[in-house]
């Protein structure tokens, strides 16, 4: 089974390149999601991913949750963290439902911090990059119920606002104009989707946003098909992906 996972991991990565509207700010961000790390993960594959991220020369990296598979205490976790620490740009992150539920609760975030990620939990960070004001707003997982909505960070109308929200369903629950862009994952693009049957696999809170770019009242939503799997460690006709997102005249 582990060998099969490794063969799957050898498949090429799809790079989603998106030029996004904004405030005139210039920014390049790499969007990662749904690593789903656990014992048996391929160190070589993770190293190649980090090399691809660094080669894109992003100003920031955004990680939209599901670092683990509901279990943060796996024996190779420290090796995964050491590899991810080689990402050269600042990494801003939120938890996914797999980081909040089961044995991962409270511990997956520690692994992300150990990886050098800044974990935002209904909080925001403002950065000054290339003389542009960038605000990254990180939301809790909708699986936290009412807790997810407590103390939502306030958007800064003077900044380019990038919201990290694991579940794309957040786009239907946020106020109009909340962010310039909302980055999500969670769906794995259907993971086992074949022949347009994605809706039969989709998890709660996908709200019809499977993968790609959508215009919503809350902001432009970018949904990543992610980098890992949950349930069966298999993808059918759904490549792993990461995003290279640009604002302004960067590319």
At its nearest, how many Å lie between Fe ion and the CB of residue 194? 19
Residue number, 66 or 95, with CB nearest to Fe ion: 66
Angle at 78 between CA 72 and CA 82, to 5 degrees: 130
Q: The tokens of 50 are what?
A: 């980090």
Are 42 and 6 contacting, i.e. CB atoms less than 8 angstroms apart? yes
Angle at 61 between CA 202 and CA 223, to 5 degrees: 20
Interface residues toward Fe ion, by CB under 5 A: 34, 66
At its nearest, how many Å lie between Fe ion and the CB of residue 66? 4
Half-sphere exposure of residue 77: CA atoms within 13 angstroms, side-chain side: 18
Q: CA 121 to CA 138: how far, in whole Å?
A: 6
At its nearest, how many Å lie between Fe ion and the CB of residue 212? 17
At its nearest, how many Å lie between Fe ion and the CB of residue 5? 16
Q: CA 192 to CA 190: how far, in whole Å?
A: 6
Residue number, 25 or 35, with CB nearest to Fe ion: 35
At its nearest, how many Å lie between Fe ion and the CB of residue 203? 8
H or E element in which residue 215 lies: strand 212-216
Q: CA 86 to CA 186: how far, in whole Å?
A: 25
Residue number, 34 or 38, with CB nearest to Fe ion: 34
Give the CB-nearest residue to Fe ion: 66
């Amino acid at each position: 089974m582990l060998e099969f996972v490794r063969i799957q991991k050898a498949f090429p990565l799809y790079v989603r390149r998106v030029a996004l509207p904004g405030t005139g700010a210039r920014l390049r961000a790499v969007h990662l999601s749904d690593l789903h790390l656990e014992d048996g993960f391929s160190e070589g594959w993770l190293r190649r991913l980090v090399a691809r991220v660094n080669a894109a020369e992003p100003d920031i990296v955004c990680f939209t949750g599901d670092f683990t598979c509901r279990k943060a205490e796996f024996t190779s976790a420290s090796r995964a963290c050491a590899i991810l620490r080689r990402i050269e740009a600042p990494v801003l992150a939120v938890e996914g439902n797999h980081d909040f539920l089961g044995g991962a609760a409270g511990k997956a975030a520690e692994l992300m911090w150990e990886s050098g990620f800044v974990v935002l939990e209904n909080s925001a960070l403002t950065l000054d990059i290339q003389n542009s004001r960038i605000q990254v707003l990180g939301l809790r997982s909708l699986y936290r119920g009412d807790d997810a909505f407590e103390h939502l960070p306030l958007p800064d109308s003077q900044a380019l606002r990038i919201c990290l929200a694991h579940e794309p369903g957040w786009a239907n629950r946020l106020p109009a104009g909340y962010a310039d862009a909302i980055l999500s994952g969670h769906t794995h693009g259907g993971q086992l989707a074949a022949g347009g049957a994605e809706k039969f696999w989709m998890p709660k809170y996908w709200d019809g946003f499977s993968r790609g770019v959508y215009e919503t009242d809350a902001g432009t939503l970018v949904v990543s098909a992610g980098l890992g799997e949950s349930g069966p460690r298999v993808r059918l006709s759904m490549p792993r992906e990461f995003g290279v997102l640009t604002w302004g005249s960067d590319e």
